[in-house]
Amino acid sequence: MTTIVWDGTTLATDSLISVSGATYNHAQKLFKLDNGEWVAFAGEQQGWWEVMEWLNAGAPKHDKPHVSRIEMIIAGPNGVFEMFDRLVRMPVNGPVSYGTGWKWALAAMDHGKHAIEAVQYAITRDHDSGGDIQSIKIHDAIPAALVKSLVTHCQESAISPALA
């Protein structure tokens, strides 16, 4: 399976593909969607492509793909969401982790580690996680014009800009 992690600013994943506990291959598990969001997948790989096509088509409610054993974290300028087999977006409030290494990654974050370090730790404990770590800092993925607009708004409103 894998380990996917959101720590509040960074989305990270390992790259190992395993089948029944055996190393099968390495693959990209972090993808940019057409709408600018990023998605990290855990679970059955063949379902990822169907879900990405569905998300890129605007996620029409009447046309959900039928997938099983799939977990994902979607992050972008409009928020962070978790999604599972039923393909319903649920907002995330705080650090989360999914896949077979989720317990190790969450424990690492509980002890102050960021997403990349959490995946690194999960790899040392979970035999179904491994390989290169893929990550994106979502702040960096937000368009510069939006960041400038938010900072300007915060300055005009005397709000501390979290994105600055």
Residue-wise pLDDT tens digits, 31-40:
999 999 999 9
Confidence band of 23 (pLDDT split at 50, 70, 90): low
Tokens of 61: 């409610």
d(CA 140, CA 136): 8
Say which amino acid occupies 82: E
pLDDT digits (tens, 9 = 90+) for 62-76: 999 999 999 999 999
